[in-house]
Chain A
Amino acid sequence: MKDKMGMYKIWAPDNVLWTQWTKPVLFTSLLCNNDDNYELKTPNSNHMQMVDYNAVIIVDLPGKESVDEGLALAQCGYRPVPLYNGVYCNSKFSMIVDVQGIAKALQEGTDILSSLNIKADAPPVFLLDSNRMTGQGKQPGKYDNRWCVFPQDMPSASFLLKSGIQKIIVRSTRIQEDLAHILLRYQNQGINIFLCDNDENPKEIKVSKPSLFMSIFYRFKVTLGLSRNATGGFGAVIPEPQIGWSNRRYYMYG
């Protein structure tokens, strides 16, 4: 059994270029005890049997599927980079986005990942949870851990081009709006974008312009609608209103 720091270092080794983008948020809430009933599935990825050093893969699948896919691609030679930014709440409050499966998969996947011999210059596979913005936000009494990925969370187009990256393969059913902000920046710099649904061959797509694209107020506006965690990432309890003696509603923080 490894501690949190040990697990994080396996997912984000010091000598790897892409480590600087790894998000530590979910690693701080890992359970640190092995669950014998849990089995990690590693699906075969037909679309990427051979590692392509000119490609970056973005896996945007629901829950632990994204980790499974990332580990499958790691077996092909890619470097998985977890970008999950929603905090796991281990308390009485129910989470709006259930990240328990991802946290467990990251923990269980540590052994698989440490057994693989991934090259230091391996291209990255960025892991996202496609459920990150599902569910109604700001529900009283719930733990609002919805989150977004911002252009600041991923390498810039010029950085990718300097690293020899020519194409981005998005492993998802559709391009979400927050991801479109990043992909359109890449596309505008001449990087080709491919979308890969299921195990089909990737198809080249043109990313359409999302609202507030390149606006300096975009991140501020989006984060206003989310709940920040004081120690990083997103996640906070939404206070429940309580009726006072004068029939006024008061919001109490649990």
Chain B
Amino acid sequence: MDAIFLYLVEFLVFIVALVFSFEFLIKWYKPLLSNRPLNRNKSTRYILGLLPIGSLGVILFTLRMLASFDVVDSFIYISMYLVLGIAWLFLGVTLMSGVFDLSWLDDALNLNNKAALIAVVGGFLGLTIIYSGANIGNGPGWWCVVFTGGLGLGAWIVLGLVINSCTKTFERITVERDIGCGIRFGSYLLASGIILARACAGDWTSFYRTTVEFIDGWPVLVLAGILILVELYYIHRAKSNKTNNTIFSSIFLGAVFIAMAIAIVYLLSLTSGNPIYRVALEVFWSLRI
């Protein structure tokens, strides 16, 4: 009886995710493919058009190689988690638009804002990697993916808001069209996605254990702190009328953020098996009250 109930719930989740996926794909590709030759932003259209395809490739790779043992060889489960992934991206993009005021449609496509395009691409890839990370490891069902991914997404959004409250990043990207800021913030969104994906990954044991293990992603706080300092420096530089081109330095910093995130994930894989580290996490979690 329980098994039938679980299958029924999984079927319902699949149907709901399918509906949202269709809605997302229509909303995403209709403006891109519409007969609007007046817009001259062909490269933006190509980039945005390829973005969901690339993201689905990343998710598919994760599901085939790193997901739960009962998913990797199951066509039905892979289909379900792929569809759930598209619905996840829909949620993430909507949150970026509503909470970050960073709209792929308004800013990147219709206004042809390159700074916003770069930030949106970084954000989209960050969302994809968080979802992929949530799929890594064994678990009893879809709710494990949604819960762990939700933790990652929540942290990702909150940190983005904190960065903006200190540095007015969203205004500088969407209104001032600061390409350097777009590169740095887009790279940060991707890099923080990589760290949070690592925090989301792992075998499921319980809600409590998963929450404790999610603290593995603490280096993302350091990364956010670095970005805030970097942005404050650039704001100071702009105020002192040093109007040099910031694009090359921003590309360099963006590459550093992503390299840092990859290095952190590698180092975490070395330390996470250490029992002292695990006890330290437990103590940290117990101190939250």
Contact = CB atoms under 8 A, between A and B. Distances in A.
Contacts of A162: 243
Contacts of B34: 230-232
A24 interface: yes
Interface stretch (B104-112, B194-202, B215-223): B104-112
Contact of B36 (A24, A158, A214): A24
A233 to B, nearest CB: 8
Given A20-B112, A152-B111, A232-B31, A216 B164 contact: yes
Interface string B84-109: 00000000000001111101011101
Contact of A216 (B101, B105, B243): B101
A130 B98 CA distance: 27
B175 A230 contact: no
B101 A5 contact: no
Interface in B29-52: 30-31, 34-39
Contact of A232 (B36, B113, B170): B36
A47 interface: no
B30 to A, nearest CB: 5
B176 A28 contact: no
Nearest to B33: A231
Contacts of B174: 151-152
A223 B94 CA distance: 13
A158 B100 CA distance: 22
Nearest to A9: B38
Contacts of A230: 27, 30-31, 34
Max count, chain A CB within 10 A of own CB: residue among B111, B175, B238: B175
A247 B175 CA distance: 49
Interface in B158-185: 164, 170-171, 174-177
Max count, chain B CB within 10 A of own CB: residue among A20, A27, A159, A216: A216
A27 B176 CA distance: 26
B176 A158 contact: yes
A152 B105 CA distance: 12
A28 B38 contact: yes
A220 B38 contact: no
Contacts of B103: 219
A156 interface: yes
A181 B60 CA distance: 44
Contact of A156 (B31, B39, B177): B177
Given A5-B37, A152-B111, A162-B243, A185 B101 contact: no
B45 to A, nearest CB: 12
B171 A220 contact: no
Contacts of A5: 37-38
Contacts of B112: 20
Contact of B175 (A27, A185, A233): A185
Nearest to B27: A230
B175 A156 contact: yes
A218 B31 CA distance: 23
Contact of B30 (A158, A159, A218, A231): A231
A220 B105 CA distance: 12
Contacts of A216: 99-101, 164, 170-171
B171 A214 contact: yes
Interface string A143-166: 000000011110010110010000
Nearest to A220: B98
A217 interface: yes
A4 interface: yes
Contact of B38 (A4, A150, A159, A218): A4
Nearest to A14: B40
Nearest to A27: B38
A231 B31 contact: yes
Interface in A18-45: 20, 24, 27-28
A186 B113 CA distance: 20
10 contacts: A28-B35, A150-B106, A151-B171, A152-B175, A156-B176, A159-B177, A231-B30, A232-B36, A232-B39, A232-B110
Interface of A: 4-5, 8, 20, 24, 27-28, 150-153, 156, 158-159, 162, 185, 214, 216-220, 223, 230-233
A-B complex: 7 closest residue pairs judged by Cβ atoms: A24-B38, A231-B34, A216-B101, A156-B176, A220-B98, A8-B38, A151-B175
Given A27-B38, A232-B36, 20 more contacts: A4-B38, A8-B38, A24-B36, A24-B39, A28-B36, A150-B106, A152-B113, A152-B174, A152-B175, A153-B111, A159-B176, A162-B243, A214-B171, A216-B99, A230-B27, A230-B34, A231-B30, A231-B31, A231-B35, A233-B110
